[in-house]
Amino acid sequence: MTSTETETPRRTTRTRRPGAKILPEHARAHNRALVLQSLFHGGARSRADLARETGLTRVTISDLVAELIADGFVAEQGTREAAGPGKPAILIDLARDGHRIVGLDLSGSDSFVGAVLTLDGEIVARHEAPVPHERAAILPAVIALARALVDDARAPVLGVGVGTPGVVDDAGVVLAAPGLGWDGLDLAGILGAELEVPVLVANDANAAVLAEHTFGGAGDDIILVKVGRGVGAGLLTGGEPLRGARSAAGEIGHVTVGTDGGPDCACGKIGCLEAWISVPSLSARIDAGSDAARDRLLRDAGERLGIALAPIVGALDLSEVVLSGPAELLDGTLADAAAETVRTRTLATFHDELQVRMTAQGQDIVLRGAAVMVLSGRLGVS
């Protein structure tokens, strides 16, 4: 199924993430990233504005802008009325139609979804494909979907970003995704060779937290909990993704919650967070009960989530917990109970103001996060 629509995401003003120490040979790429970052978050502005904001000289800015225009990443956009005497300033902006980004979200249980996005994260085309029942047909279906999106891009593709369930390493190798039958699959390598464009792959919740940070106004120290068929989380500390020793940071679904037993989990343990609050598990218990039981079950699920999150919030000094998943389950009672539980289980001085809120990114959060992976990996924009 293919459809086309346009949406305008809201971007937040943010300075560039502080990076590692810059070596002289990297200075030009760093300076290009500063200019693009300024345009990405601030919109059209003059060369003088760019010089002021980036701290670079007017001459350096003119050189960089000329190079970025030649590469098709920025364009001149007319003039702004001069406030005083003198020539009106020529405005520079991202060349939104100069390149496209392809994003894939493989986290759905029934269908894989993909989108073509502009450089500023606006979705201009969508495709989707049913998830094959045969394990062997899954990778070919992903390749075909990605190829259809690249063919539909109608501009050079800066890169393909993929959010997939499972544990994914820095190189885009899916170390384990039991739901898709993948074990040590070099997804980035395979797609890159098939499509001949750069490909970046990350866990779906890790992609989602990037979207929340870049487009959703989230702070630099947050956890995003994605509740669907399973439960996973993406973490940012100091604005940077937290990966962990085995690329599995945020895998909170199979942490057992409480000492009072609980539902059986697919992993063989009992009382895992996923067994308590995954959409299939929680929905089944709610459907089996009365209306009064619904409120109690949602409150209990929120408390379980809060019990799992409190030590994470405390240890990492997080400022925000963002939930992504069905609002009819997560928003309200469950989120409030989770927030209350985290607050009562952490140091009041620091976490009294802790927010647990729904993402405003909706169903497109992984697609937008996949675009951020490409922007960040290819242009240094985040």
Binding site for Zn ion (CB under 5 A): 254, 265, 267, 269, 272
Considering the complex, state which of residue 243 and residue 254 has its C-beta at the smaller distance from Zn ion. 254
Identify any residues that bridge with 240 across adjacent strands, giving them in sequence order.
237
**Exposure string over 58-76, b if 16+ CB within 10 A, otherwise e:** eebbeebbeebeeeebbbe
Quote the CA–CA distance of 299 and 284 in Å, as a whole number: 16
**CB closer to Zn ion out of 11 and 269:** 269
The alpha carbon torsion through 12, 15, 17, 22 (nearest 10 deg) reads: 150
Q: How far apart are CA 221 and CA 365, in angstroms?
A: 18
Give 56 or 279: the residue with its C-beta nearer to Zn ion: 279
- The residues with which 160 forms a beta bridge, in sequence order, are 102, 199
Residue with tokens 């606006």: 122
Q: Which is nearer to Zn ion, 49 or 274 (CB)?
A: 274
Neighbours of 349 (CB within 10 A): 6
Residue number, 22 or 267, with CB nearest to Zn ion:
267
Q: Report the nearest approach of Zn ion to the CB of residue 16 (Å).
A: 39
CB of 242 to Zn ion, least distance (A): 22
What minimum distance in Å lies between the beta carbon of 27 and Zn ion? 48
In the bound complex, what is the minimum distance in angstroms from residue 164's beta carbon to Zn ion? 20
Comparison of 146 and 275: residue with beta carbon closer to Zn ion: 275
CB of 121 to Zn ion, least distance (A): 34
Q: State phi, psi for 235 to the nearest 5 degrees.
A: -125, 140
Which two tokens mark 300? 């209990």
What is the closest distance, in whole angstroms, from the C-beta atom of residue 268 to Zn ion in the complex? Answer: 7
Q: What is the distance of C-alpha 141 from the center of its chain?
A: 23
Task: Please give the structure tokens belonging to residue 116.
Answer: 């073509």
Which residues contact residue 203 at a Cβ distance below 8 angstroms, ignoring those fewer than 6 apart? 163, 164, 165, 166, 167, 168, 232, 234, 250
Residue with smaller CB distance to Zn ion, 267 or 347: 267
Q: How far is the CB of 364 from Zn ion (least distance, A)?
A: 29
Helix axes 138-151, 187-195, angle to 10 degrees: 40
